[in-house]
Chain A
């Protein structure tokens, strides 16, 4: 297994954001994590990448127990992620952002750096070449010198993907990559994610755009109220009553509330 969790739980005061979740991710392919708002998807992402520490349970990555490892160590082991609310280094250039993503792959020490030794120059040159290749993959090579904060929203999402990809991760975690994108951009994004998966990088993504998820994923895990309620292929997920209930339950409740309010209004009418 590439990634495995065992009884992963995160409690906040009075709330269990992630409740006893067991995940098993095989290497290769595109895996999606879906669920209604507040289901715990982002918290689960943060638990996997080490930005939040679990209250209980374990995370194993490529056979190593990484439960106690801080985020930067997990990145060095081959995980990379993007953020739901874009977190680029806005004042740095597009290229410098991608180079920063390669930090864990660079190893030249302080002295060779200050002395500008051959080893330093060779490593930086190789890093710049790889960063440019990553930018080319997402189609941002022409914007390399611009400040990251000046890019349009959709391009910023693509830049986050390039910044994550440049570390050549075994597992790429995308947190709502299509959020805020228009339909044309979403189609391009789906093609990009497919290309990334074809290069052997396993993709785990959180997404609300159901068309995007269903068309792209090899397998889907459904969360609700922090618990895993279903797991299967897109077709199985679409047919599963428990999933439909998790999504439609909320909407039905809203409709019931609305009709209840209408009934009250009618009942109140004659008396007024």
Chain B
């Protein structure tokens, strides 16, 4: 496969940035899945870290091929989601946010203190196996699946429980089960994103998965919106591209990020892409209107 010279050039120059767009898109979807059913669960950075560490170890220590490493890197995040999911089901709102951030910090200090995981130095020399097409194929696949699931009884249940969990339960929706399923899906998406990130930057360290990344992932969805699955990706891309445009003013970057989020919350309460996804299948669209 040969690409035109200019495109090849562009891809080569901005490879890291292009990869970040795909990976941050997946993380934004991981955030979307839980927010779309009304859970302010902020464990995505922790899930990402588990996917990154377990994926990197499977490649470096076990020497597994990448097509096995990628699905296997979901195991640890999903296990963690099930462990924290059951006891935190009773929590909601800020309490859930605080609990999930706390659990993420526990993992961070575990990475710092376990020698096999490289401690504060992290893991170095991870083979670069995440290809651009892989990252974007996975993003497109996840996005498509979320749109299709969103336009069915599952999507209706998610939106119903976000609006009113009590009324949703009275409609026959098993709210606890949906919460857990959303958390597990979030863990799969973030775990894959973490594994891809580890295999494109060759280095991972504990601080990439702490409090700050957790808030950054939340801001993807805050800025983009949660009315449809395209919105959080738009938010992620905006916040990923912005620092590149501001490269000459590095000291202003973080401040500007903050200002944008404040402005978005004040003036774009439904996000950059504020439209609400229809909850009936597309083939029925004519009949359902």
Contacts and interface: CB of A to CB of B under 8 A. Distances in A.
Partners in one complex: yes
A110 interface: yes
Nearest to A87: B167
B104 to A, nearest CB: 28
A113 interface: yes
Interface string A86-108: 01111111011001111110101
B153 A91 contact: no
Query: Which among A51, A75, A89, A92 has the highest number of chain B CB atoms within 10 Å?
Result: A89
B111 to A, nearest CB: 33
A200 interface: no
Q: Size class of B's contact patch?
A: 20 to 34
- Which label, helix, strand, loop or mixed, suits the secondary structure of the B interface? helix
A242 B148 CA distance: 59
B289 A99 contact: no
A106 to B, nearest CB: 5
Nearest to B282: A116
A71 B170 contact: yes
Interface in B155-179: 156-157, 159-160, 163-164, 166-175
B160 A113 contact: no
Contacts of A104: 171-172
Q: Size class of A's contact patch?
A: 35 or more
Query: Which among B172, B278, B280, B287 has the highest number of chain A CB atoms within 10 Å?
Result: B172
Given A91-B159, A99-B153, A103-B153, A128 B287 contact: yes
B83 interface: no
A75 B289 CA distance: 27
B171 A103 contact: yes
A155 to B, nearest CB: 17
A49 B171 CA distance: 11
Interface string B255-289: 00000000000000000000010111101100111
A255 interface: no
A89 B288 contact: no
Contact of B281 (A93, A101, A120): A120
Contact of B283 (A80, A89, A121): A121
Interface in A124-175: 124-125, 127-128, 144-145, 163, 167
A124 B284 CA distance: 8
B280 A128 contact: yes
A61 B21 CA distance: 54
Nearest to B164: A87
A96 B279 contact: yes
B156 A92 contact: yes
A-B complex: 8 closest residue pairs judged by Cβ atoms = A104-B172, A75-B172, A87-B167, A71-B169, A89-B163, A106-B153, A113-B152, A96-B279
20 contacts: A51-B166, A72-B171, A76-B172, A89-B167, A91-B159, A91-B276, A92-B163, A92-B279, A100-B160, A103-B156, A103-B171, A106-B153, A108-B152, A110-B154, A113-B149, A113-B154, A114-B149, A128-B284, A144-B288, A163-B171
Interface of B: 145, 148-149, 152-154, 156-157, 159-160, 163-164, 166-175, 276, 278-281, 283-284, 287-289
Given A87-B166, A89-B159, A96-B280, 10 more contacts: A71-B169, A83-B170, A100-B156, A103-B172, A113-B149, A113-B152, A116-B148, A116-B283, A120-B281, A124-B281
